[in-house]
Amino acid sequence: MKKIFILLFILSFIQVHAQNNVYSCNASKSPKHQLKSNTLPLNYIQETEKYDVIYYELDLTANNMNTNLSGSVKMTAIATQDIDTIVFELFPSYTINYVLINQEIANYSWRNTGVHCKVNLKKGEKFTITTNYKGKSPNKSTNPLGGAGYTQKKATAWNKNVSWTLSEPFSAYEWFPCKQSLSDKIDSVTFKITVPDSCMAGSNGVLQKITPLPNNVRCFEWKHKKPIDYYLISMSVANYTDYSIYAHPKNSDSILIQNYVYPNALKSSKDLIDNTSKFMEYYSEIFTLYPFHQEKYGHCMAPINGGMEHQTMTTLGYFDNELVAHELAHQWWGDHVTCGSWSDIWLNEGFATYSEYLMLEKLFPGNEKAKLSNIHNSVLSVTNGSTWVKDSLNEKNIFSRKLVYDKGAAIIHTLRYMINNDLIFFQALQNFQTEFAFRTATASDFKKSVEKTTGINLTAFFNQWYYGHGYPTYAAKISRKSDNSSELLVSQKGSSPSNTPLFTNPIDILVSRMTKSDTLMRVNIQENPQKISFSAEIGLKDVIEIDPFNFIVNRTEQFTNQIDTINESILIYPNPSQNFINIELKNSMSATVKLFSMDGKIVLEKSFSKETQLDIHRQTAGNYLLIIENDGTIFEKKITKN
């Protein structure tokens, strides 16, 4: 097989920096039923934006046999303007026993899912709202727009009953009184969960204590001291066993990985759980140190088809390398830095999906190729639609496997290719994580951050691949001229031409050359078709393959290579041959013949008229390239010496 060399043509018109213009469901958030956000009307939502939540203290009683809840939730907040009415959310299937504002009984009214309390608060004033309530969480029949916030089900494979929360994107209000706003991260959370003493309860942060209580129950108290978004607060209740391990990232203390696993599932899951430490060590190297290293990471099992990246303690249905890696990556991409709007869910899901690829590339080399191929095939099945989510109230769009997860991951791979330097690529990811640590960010924020690190203008890239639709289908051909110079012509058709007619990212093209080894060229596309001329010294021959390493989501058409020949006027025999090659020109003409070895050296050269014979008996056995030139016309033929 020929050795492939990389030829980078650093020409002003093909500079990357000149741009201006199988595992399909392993990480699905499931079950999910809601199609719309919370039912608060816009004017109620505006009321919730008049304060910032800084602390939640949840004190709830739950079990693993149903979705009954009872207890109190205390919300501490700061008024961002003068307020006469506080509004928060709670689904009306519950009964509110009382509401306290700053420890005083408050009058409230319940309008749809919004709880309204009259107050007299000044801008900058700190206050608390304590809601004592009880009831059964809604399900699909009682809340057609939701029903996934708090669920009870049997994990049939393990014969275990489990109750668990899953609030993303709009279901937190189905199980606790809250404010559902991505931009309002809570500074810290305390969660006290009282459960039957046959059960354990997992949640965010560090387990402070387990307190035995009368009537065969006990209280698990968890404390999380880092900023957290509303939908990442969680609890899971079941008959678990605690299997804890540690990760050892470079330049860091050991990090606890605390796993609440069904006892009869531990033996078969142990090796996969143990891999979590390797994934954390690698991600800590390429993304920044695990953001919650002072507390823990962990898993709670629940009967879901995939996982949910609850901050510091993922809920997941089973242990699998790609699933575990995906949800762990969310601790950076989604938890440490959270998407600023559901339209920009790519910052969560695209990066977590691509992190699966990175994990395979590093720890299971060779397996990443099939992963990338599966991702690209998934994207190619959708000719329209963008990774940016236009309808951010539509959960089907938010969690689109093909557009958000897979195309989102493919976009990142293309960005890595465009940067063309892994040190800079990973530095850009680290800089973004540092710049937006414990905050929210949009895709626009990410774009600006990467541009600062790389110096590359990414406007065209984001317009075409993130906001744009579809993918390109490429075609390429080489035209040879009489003076042996050549022209490479690259054309493309967008799968959604009315939305995105042109993709101007660079593209790799593998070509053969007249006297040298096959060469990989990186060509920037700025127009359609893109024409690039090459001198005779370059000696381009044929297009072999477009994007041979699968950096770009694309299809290709059949290659067309145009080489002027006089093969109908020439007879060459025998081939293969051991001693002599005969050449006969059917028409009376003069020509020059050259025989090249495959390393590009001229072995024989002679001029002749009508016919000639080449003596090759002294040449080493193997393949050679025969080139006949006559009046600017070229004929070429591969010759084999036996």
pLDDT of residue 29: 45
Q: Looking at the structure, do residues 90 and 136 belong to the same domain, yes or no?
A: yes
Residues 536-572 have pLDDT tens digits of 888 888 899 999 999 999 999 865 554 434 455 788 8
Residues 36-50 have pLDDT tens digits of 445 688 889 999 999
Coil, strand, or helix at residue 559?
coil
Of 527, 556, 585, the residue at which a domain comes to its end is 556
Token pair, residue 304, equals 């879901």
Q: Looking at the structure, do residues 77 and 177 belong to the same domain, yes or no?
A: yes
Do the domain assignments include residue 500?
Answer: yes
Q: Looking at the structure, do residues 599 and 496 belong to the same domain, yes or no?
A: no
Q: Looking at the structure, do residues 160 and 136 belong to the same domain, yes or no?
A: yes
CA distances to 156, 239, 317, 321, 641 from 264, in Å: 12, 10, 14, 20, 67
Cβ atoms 531, 540 nearer than 8 A? no
Instruction: Select from 110, 262, 290, 260 the least CA-distant residue to 193.
Output: 260
How many domains does the structure of the chain reveal? 3
Q: Looking at the structure, do residues 110 and 155 belong to the same domain, yes or no?
A: yes
Q: Looking at the structure, do residues 60 and 160 belong to the same domain, yes or no?
A: yes
Of 537, 556, 575, the residue at which a domain comes to its end is 556
Q: Looking at the structure, do residues 233 and 94 belong to the same domain, yes or no?
A: yes
Do the domain assignments include residue 301?
Answer: no
pLDDT of residue 145: 64
Q: Looking at the structure, do residues 191 and 54 belong to the same domain, yes or no?
A: yes
Residue labelled with tokens 């699905």: 28
Of 239, 272, 298, the residue at which a domain comes to its end is 239
Do the domain assignments include residue 422?
Answer: no
Instruction: Select from 182, 241, 160, 171 the least CA-distant residue to 29.
Output: 171
Q: How many Cα atoms are found within 13 Å in the side-chain-facing hemisphere of 371? A: 23
Residues 240-254 have pLDDT tens digits of 999 999 999 998 999
pLDDT of residue 568: 57
Q: Looking at the structure, do residues 100 and 217 belong to the same domain, yes or no?
A: yes
Do the domain assignments include residue 284?
Answer: no
Residues 326-343 have pLDDT tens digits of 999 999 999 999 999 999
Find the CATH number of the domain harbouring 201.
2.60.40.1730
Q: Looking at the structure, do residues 533 and 606 belong to the same domain, yes or no?
A: no
Find the CATH number of the domain harbouring 541.
2.60.40
Do the domain assignments include residue 15?
Answer: yes
Q: Looking at the structure, do residues 52 and 193 belong to the same domain, yes or no?
A: yes
Find the CATH number of the domain harbouring 606.
2.60.40.3080
pLDDT of residue 318: 97
**Whole domain around residue 195: which residue ranges?**
42-239
Q: Looking at the structure, do residues 58 and 163 belong to the same domain, yes or no?
A: yes
Token pair, residue 455, equals 């110096």
Distance between CA atoms of 467 and 527, rounded to whole angstroms?
19
Do the domain assignments include residue 92?
Answer: yes
Do the domain assignments include residue 606?
Answer: yes
Do the domain assignments include residue 327?
Answer: no
Residues 67-117 have pLDDT tens digits of 999 999 999 999 999 999 999 999 999 999 999 999 999 999 998 889 999
